[in-house]
Chain A
Amino acid sequence: MADATARLLNLIVALTDTGRRMTRETIRATVEGYDPVPQGADAEELSRSEAAFERMFERDKDALRSLGIPLRTIQDAVHGDDIGYRIDSADAALPALDLTAAELAVLSVAGAYWEDATLGDDARQALTKVASAASSRPTEGVLAAARTRGSERAVSVLLEARDERRAVTFDYSSTTSGLQRRTVQPWRLLTRSGVLYVQGLDTDRGAPRTFRLSRVQGRVRPVGDEGAYEIPPELPAAFSPEQGGTALVAIRPEAGHALRARGEAAGSVEGWDLVRVEFRHPDAVRDEVLALGGAARIVEPAALAEQVAEHARRALEVAGG
């Protein structure tokens, strides 16, 4: 491990702001940690040693990418297929982060959020970087903690595909159209209310869509060629307000406090209080009324009222015995 660490550091020093690009051959011959071409070797040994270098160098390039270091590849104008590499420190350096001690402490709480191994490691790496850019040290004893038991395996595949501008395909279950295979050109990830989404072009529908990662089933797989699309410079809103609307909900006295707190009183009928509630997605109101277990009902819209009843009926068929 010390060898790999030392080699990577030497590689970073060699490539950073190098006057001219470095080719694979130069890297292999001069950067400490790589085995140079063996002297007096026969053809078989040469090709084996060449293959070993290629594998090591490819792994190191992946490592640089994982570290967040943009590696520039530069083609020689004269020798067209001769690729050289360089790191521009202006691209690579961590921007200044003027964090207070309290802010740093909150970040360490956030960094412990993921139980999922991959994102957990990424968060710890991020914290190390943030800690090296801060002028203060975290305050002791933040009285807050965060945990998630969810695993977001899809994140790394999506980010890599996005980086390569390559489409992905996955099975997705939506409340409106059931379980379907989707093919998407990922544009960006979003988080809203603690939920991760990916927004991109749904190529079958030819339109932008936003998918909730926790409703992706099974694996996300890259498909098709790299460089298959461009991310539009102006992205459309990820969450369309069109699905939103207003519901009139009847609530028993002394119940539905969360709905009341959010909504607007609209009189009463036969001992039920009426509250007008705005919603972003009808499912949210439906589920909230269902969770209230009879202390609330939908008055309008009628379709939503029918959905509430249908959900209860179907659940009763299974649980009613």
Chain B
Amino acid sequence: MAEKALARVTRLLGIVSVLQHQDEASFEELGERFGVSAEQIRSDVMLLFTTGKPGGMPDEYVDFDPDALDRGIARLWDAQGLTQVRLSAREAVALIASLGTLVASGAAPAAAEPALAKLRDAIGSEPIDVVTDARVDPARVQPVRDGVEQRRAVRLDYVDAQDRRSERVIEPHRLVAIDGVGYIECWCRRAGDYRTLRLDRIVGAELTDEPVTTPPAEGLGFSLEPRFDATVTVHRSARWALEAMPGAQVSDDGEDVTASFPVADADFTAGRLLAVGPALRAVAPEALADAVARHARAVLDAQVGTP
């Protein structure tokens, strides 16, 4: 079954459902609600008109007020038992998992948690359950969310990927979750440039009275721009670690797995590669290999005192 037919049936049932909740709706309003043109809604309504019970008598078809239709308004007279249907298992998973991820990343607006709760109430805990376990302390990030909504600058106490702690004032533009990690896209006044800062590295935040004056940058996670492409080979038991690298292209080669992926911050990537140290086979280019070696020596120095 073509996906398109399913999408259209779902929208047609949605149109019926909306008209069961409210008296009437213009084609424009319905189009806006379902993300299609008013013209598409007109053609949807015409299709509904021809839907009816088997061997249909004239009164056994879905029926609309014909005068209203001429004015571009849908008013339902008879739905023949049609109404919107519950979420399928996959639909529930797709929506609940992404919403749960957004909440856990700390990037979700305040409305996300009640929305998640209402969805789970309506669907039940089957077939997916959300284990609440925020990566980011919501209270600590709250001033950043407030700053986004009220368009005010925020003073941040921030720890960067090299574990350097700094205080900076940012103009927050948008919260984003990329691969489950929450970031704030902002203008950093200290750097005088756009930055994408990880929410889980925020140690403290305080809302200021100063307004946001800079426009948001274009593009999602813009300052995560890659500096170079890395190629890393690991034993296949550590494949998951390479797949977790954003933008990774993974290919199998017998017992080994090779991935190439863009690297924005060699030190950060090196730190993550140490986690699969015993499975590591090859690291390129030299810039990344050097970072891994430097990291590994420093860890050994700290841990056992012999570099």
Which residues of chain B in 176-190 are interfacial with respect to chain A, using CB atoms and an 8 Å cutoff? Answer: 176-181
Q: Is the CB of B176 within 8 A of A312?
A: no
Set of chain A residues within 8 Å of B32, measured between Cβ atoms: 137
Number of A-B contacts (CB under 8 A): 435
The smallest beta-carbon distance between A301 and chain B, in angstroms, is 13
Which residues of chain B in 151-187 are interfacial with respect to chain A, using CB atoms and an 8 Å cutoff? Answer: 159, 162-163, 165, 173-181
Set of chain A residues within 8 Å of B240, measured between Cβ atoms: 173, 212, 214-215
Which of B50, B92, B97, B280 is A6 in contact with, Cβ under 8 Å? Answer: B50
Q: Is the CB of A191 within 8 A of B85?
A: no
The smallest beta-carbon distance between B76 and chain A, in angstroms, is 13
Identity of the chain A residue whose Cβ is nearest the Cβ of B3 in the assembled complex: A121
| Chain A interface (Cβ < 8 Å from any Cβ of B) | 1-2, 4-6, 8-10, 12-14, 16-17, 26-27, 30-32, 59-60, 62-63, 65-69, 89, 91-100, 102-107, 109-111, 113-114, 118-133, 135, 137, 142-150, 155-156, 159, 162-163, 173, 178-179, 188-196, 212, 214-215, 217, 238-239, 254-258, 261, 283, 286-287, 289-298, 305, 308-316, 318-321
Which of B89, B243, B282 is A318 in contact with, Cβ under 8 Å? Answer: B282
Instruction: Bits for B14-48, please: 1 = Cβ < 8 Å to A, else 0.
Output: 11011001100000000011100000000000011
Q: Is the CB of A290 within 8 A of B299?
A: yes
Set of chain B residues within 8 Å of A191, measured between Cβ atoms: 96-97, 100-101, 104, 128-131
Q: Is the CB of A144 within 8 A of B278?
A: no
Q: How far is the CA of A316 from the CA of B52 in the complex (A)?
A: 72
The smallest beta-carbon distance between B60 and chain A, in angstroms, is 9
The total of chain B residues at the interface (CB under 8 A) is: 139
Set of chain B residues within 8 Å of A146, measured between Cβ atoms: 98, 101-102, 105, 107, 176-178
Q: Is the CB of A107 within 8 A of B95?
A: yes
Set of chain B residues within 8 Å of A296, measured between Cβ atoms: 302
Q: Is the CB of A193 within 8 A of B283?
A: no
| Chain B interface (Cβ < 8 Å from any Cβ of A) | 1-15, 17-18, 21-22, 32-34, 47-48, 50-56, 62, 80-102, 104-105, 107-112, 114-115, 118-119, 122-123, 125-131, 133-135, 137, 148-149, 159, 162-163, 165, 173-181, 200-201, 203, 220-221, 236-240, 243-244, 246-247, 267-268, 270-278, 280-283, 289-290, 292-304
The smallest beta-carbon distance between B301 and chain A, in angstroms, is 6
If over half of A's interface residues share one DSSP class (helix, strand or loop), that class is named, otherwise mixed; here it is helix
Set of chain B residues within 8 Å of A118, measured between Cβ atoms: 90
A-B contact pairs, 8 of them (CB 8 A): A100-B114, A103-B112, A128-B11, A178-B237, A191-B100, A196-B97, A212-B240, A309-B303
Q: Which of A62, A106, A130, A318 has the most CB of B within 10 A?
A: A318
Evaluate whether A238 and B131 lie within 8 angstroms (CB atoms) in the complex, with A148-B179, A290-B299 already known: yes
Set of chain B residues within 8 Å of A92, measured between Cβ atoms: 85-86
Identity of the chain A residue whose Cβ is nearest the Cβ of B200 in the assembled complex: A258
Q: Is the CB of A173 within 8 A of B238?
A: yes
Q: Is the CB of B93 within 8 A of A113?
A: no
The smallest beta-carbon distance between B254 and chain A, in angstroms, is 13
Q: Is the CB of A294 within 8 A of B87?
A: no
Which of B83, B93, B272 is A159 in contact with, Cβ under 8 Å? Answer: B93
Set of chain B residues within 8 Å of A60, measured between Cβ atoms: 1
